[in-house]
Structures are given as C-alpha cells and as structure tokens.
Amino acid sequence: METEVKLTKLASCAGCGAKVGAGTLVQMLEGFRTHSDPRLIVGYDKSDDACVYVLDRETALVQTTDFFPPIVDDSYLFGQIAAANALSDVYAMGGEPKLALNLLCLADRMEPHTVQEILRGGYDKVYEAGAIIAGGHTIQGAEPIYGLAVTGFVHPDRVLTNAAARPGDVLLLTKPLGVGILTTAAKAGLVEQAVLDRLYRQMSALNKTARDIMVKYPVHSCTDVTGFALLGHSYEMAQGSGCSIRLNTAGIPFHPETYEMAEMGFIPAGAYRNRDYAGAGVKKGPGVTRAMEDICYDPQTSGGLLIALPEGAAEECLSELRERIPQAAVVGRVEERGEYAVYLD
C-alpha cells in the first residue's frame, strides 16, 4: 500500500547505501580501550557481522543490530527488507536467530497506518525466521528508520567468522549483485517494475535457507555481502584471514540490467565510500571494465552469503544451494597472501 508521502522521499539515503564507510568506522573506534573477556570470542575489533559470547560448552550467544532508511515506498515491504537484513548477520555467523527488538525512528509526516505496516512487515519476517520480536524502542527524528537488534544462538565450536578462510578454499555467493545501482537508477524512472519486483523479492528473502545448507558442510569462513559490497566484504575476509582472495568476474552473478545502468553512471554514493575503503588493497585485472568494478563496489541491501569452504566440498554444497537458490555461484578462490588483499580478474 502506498503512503500519501512516499517513504523514500522522506530519506536522504536508501537501505544499506546509508551505511557509514568502513574506513570512517575504523577512525571513529581508533584508540578506544578494549575490555577483554575470555567468553567474548568475536567482538567489534574483528570487523565481523556480529559479536559472539560463550554461555556454556554447548551454547554461544550471537548479537547484532542493523537498521536503515527506506529503500522502497511500500511500508510492509520496507519492514520485511529491514528485518531480513538484520537477521542476516546471525545467519552469517552460522547461528539461528531467536529474539529481536524493534528499532524505529518516525518522521513527522508518517501516518499511523504506515508505521503499523512497517512493524507488521518486520514481525512477519521475524516469525518466518522462527524468532520472536519481544519489544523495542521508538523515537522521533528527521527521517524514517527501521531495523532490529537480534539475538541468536550457535554452538561455540561451530561459529563462523569472516576471518578464517584458508588458501585453496572456494568462494560461493548466494544472491546476485546490483541492488544499489538499480535502486539508484529507479529514482530516475529507468528501471521497469518487473525488475524492481525481482529486487524486492531478493531483498526480502531470508538467508536462512543458505545458512541451513552451508552448516552441513566444512565451511571455514562466512560473511554476508551488504553495505560494504562484494569487494569491501572480500577485502575484510582476506585481511582477517591473512590470505588473498581472487574474484572471477565471469562467475559473479548480478542482475543483467545492472551493467547498462552502471555504464550510464547510476552509482550510489556508498559505492564510492567502498572504493575509498578497499581500493588500495584491490588489484583490478586488465580485462575488468569500470562498470564491472562498480558493480563489485555496489552496496547491497540484504545481500547474500559469501561462503569459503574447501574445494572438495564446494561442488556438493553449490549443487544443494542451487536446488533452492538457483543464482548461487562460485565467485572466486582463496590464495596464499600476495601483494594485494583482493585480485579482481
């Protein structure tokens, strides 16, 4: 249902494109004294998707939060996308979400029905994940914002981080790229509704299926590809793992309409922030076009999982993923550390 004042008109940024650049975050946190606790096995110092705190030998708590301004005008759909995006960080750690808290900022011109539909979208998506919304917090502000604080659980021995990839691993990606570029082009009326509907289905889809499949295999490392883009998240995985990552652009899935829009220059601001952050650590091959490079720097909202696992298990894992997620693909490999963190071929 459309609101009288379109949600996206109330926000200056959209979705994960509003994310503060990773380089800026590093500067903000620099110099902070970090308190240690042996039970905190993943903290903010790891640049990972969520923190992990060991409760006992069988259970570790996974906590994360994520919120952003509207990327769509449909209130219910916005709630679904924001919730799916927040839940994704728990899935990326190999965990299962169980509890969530609403985080909501109301703009002055939002109608009560609009707010109700945002919350209903979030509730329905959390319920689909098998979790419960147990409360939350709401404030007034200049722009609408919605998201969740999420708590999940995982066995301490089965925690997946973005810093454990090993040379020889194959990299799988479970959702195609192009969300940021296409939603930017849509503002100029250049994207057909059928394409947008495809994007909306993708953004509102949970990474639960991908998580449930990948944990059957000896996965070494995982992260979800969101605001820092494929190249930004690959860069963090390579840095954290002490390896290099080689991405093969011929295998990277992206929405086919994205390339033309990238060539026309419909690049979101977040892509430039991602380039500033990771660019010095990325070596682009001579055959990689600027448009393809922009696609790899494009911030994704509720993107897919980037999974690193041994070559011997990758084919079977990919085959099972494709039964449920047809666009899952091999996008690269992990190598011994080279001069650059990421090679884009």
What residues are labeled active site? 16
Phi, psi for residue 228 in degrees, rounded to 5: -90, 0
CB 312 within 8 A of CB 201: no
Instruction: Identify the CA nearest to 152 among candidates 34, 63, 40.
Output: 63
Name which of 169, 166, 172, 193 is nearest 182 in CA terms.
193
Closest of 335, 155, 154, 181 to residue 268, by C-alpha:
181
Rg of the Cα atoms in the chain: 19
Whether the Cβ atoms of residue 85 and residue 302 lie closer than 8 Å to each other: yes
